[in-house]
Amino acid sequence: MERIENWVGKGLMKVEKESEEYQSIENGFLKGMGFMGHATTIMALHKNDISFSLAWQARWDSFKILSKAMAIKCGGDANVRYAWYGGSLDDLLEIVSAGFSGCKNHDETHHGVGIPLFSVHFSIDSAMCTVGDEHGLRHVLLCRVILGKVESVACGSKQSQPSSKQYDSGVDDILAPTKHIIWTAFMNSYIHPSYILSFKYNYTRDSVICGALKPQSPYVLFPNLLARVSNHLKPAQMTTLLRSYRVYQERKISREVWINKVRLIVGDTLLHSVITKSNYNCDIEGNFILGGYGVYRDSVAVIICFETRNMRQRLELWVLYDKYEGVECWCRMHTIGMLWRLERPVDDVGADFSYNVFNYVENFLFGGNVVVEEDDSLETDGFSLLTLFLSNISKLSIEDGGCY
């Protein structure tokens, strides 16, 4: 943080956290981070001080003049938008002081040869292009961009200028753009760097399940995976990793296909290191173990999962660490032979359903028998509650069942 603070009074102004300006940009950035939002902390916000020198003032004046000219060309609307740009701190400081120097890299994931900026609603894509320092600090640039009339540019295209005079910039998707492409000929005319936002990824423990039960495959939450591998992968690899996850979330590919993509991008060696380290560092405080069943003191919900194998009933008890007791938590039900997964996702529709299940409906019914129940007394009396559950389980006569 010291490096960017040295620029205060030399081209940058620090924006106070209490200001409406700071909070508006912070909220917009975190919202655009999607599922990574709750695993991200904004550390600082610095504003381009256009009054620092005559040259900096001239660049801002030029941007305003070009905005007016574009509005005339496009019939009244210059289509000026905010957009994010990710890179190293050195890159961003150079852009603020002297402008863009050109498109540094081009690969099959790029849409044309130009400066790629990401829609203000997709800050997560720009975050994937950042480079963390030794303290895990990352930086993105919030820019004002003159888009004018846009045209679609295919992924992998080597287009480097408008296809005709009627177009001014490119996008990855006309109907739902996430990426804007400003051609290099106009990069320092149509882009004005406005803010440098500094942030960190945090390792989360939403519904972390670890230890206590056997056998158990280790796993790591996807936000944690991104945070842990980000310093080992190239920006293009991070972008590919993120996009494959989105496709998986939309159920366009199977879980097996998605995992294979992750293994291909990250590599088995790094992936194994990340997952095992994550599970080793899982620090739920205190637990009781009784006959293969585990209870954690911090838990607020008990979930009993069962499987039938050769018509013989087998029950396994999982107790989840529920840090937030809210819609950001994911609840998972695991068994040895099959995986039943109930998630409490961040979207409102799914969250309402799962939240009702775990916090308002006091039980699940399997053939009329209560086998899943919530009780806040687990926090103070987990062991006795577990014993009560085990005694009740022995009275059930479930031959098969489903979740209703």
pLDDT at 223: 59
Q: What are phi and psi for residue 114, nearest 5 degrees?
A: -170, -165
Continuous H helices in 162-304: 187-190, 222-229, 235-249, 255-266, 268-280
Q: Kindly calculate the radius of gyration of the chain based on its CA atoms and give it in whole angstroms.
A: 26
Peptide bond into 193 cis (omega under 30): no
Only one residue has tokens 């990426």, namely 179
Given CA atoms 173, 175, 176, 178 in this order, what sign does their dihedral have?
Answer: positive
Both tokens assigned to 209: 């399940």
φ, ψ of residue 367 in degrees (nearest 5) = 60, 30
pLDDT in tens, the chain (404 residues): 778 888 888 889 999 999 999 999 999 999 888 767 777 899 999 999 999 889 899 999 999 999 999 999 999 999 999 999 998 999 999 999 999 987 666 566 678 899 999 999 889 888 888 888 878 899 999 999 999 999 999 888 889 999 999 999 999 888 878 899 999 999 999 999 999 999 998 754 333 322 222 233 344 556 566 667 777 777 777 777 777 777 776 777 776 777 777 878 888 777 767 665 544 333 322 233 223 333 333 333 333 333 323 222 222 333 333 333 332 222 332 222 222 233 333 333 332 222 222 222 223 223 333 333 333 333 334 344 444 444 444 443 333 222 22
Please report the sign of the dihedral spanned by the C-alpha atoms of residue 379, residue 41, residue 80, residue 61: positive
Query: Distance between CA atoms of 270 and 38, rounded to whole angstroms?
Result: 24
DSSP 345-400: -SSHHHHHHHHIIIIIS-EEEETTEEEEE--TTHHHHHHHHHHHHHHHHTT---SS
Strand, helix or coil at 20? helix
Helix (H, G, I), strand (E, B) or coil at 258: helix
Q: Crossing angle, helix 222-229 and helix 255-266, to 10 degrees?
A: 10
What is the CB-side half-sphere exposure of residue 378 using CA atoms within 13 A? 26
Give me the pLDDT at residue 173, please. 84
The strand order across the sheet containing 114-119 reads 12-14, 40-48, 191-201, 138-146, 80-87, 114-119, 179-183, 169-171, 150-152
Q: CB neighbours (10 Å) of residue 193?
A: 21
Q: Could you give the 3-state DSSP secondary structure of residue 203?
A: coil
Q: Which CATH class is domain 2-201?
A: alpha beta
Other CB atoms closer than 10 Å to residue 348's CB: what's the count? 9
Its pTM stands at 0.57
Helix (H) or strand (E) holding 59: helix 54-73
Sequence spans of domains, the chain:
2-201, 206-283, 284-404
Separation of alpha carbons 324 and 22, rounded Å? 26
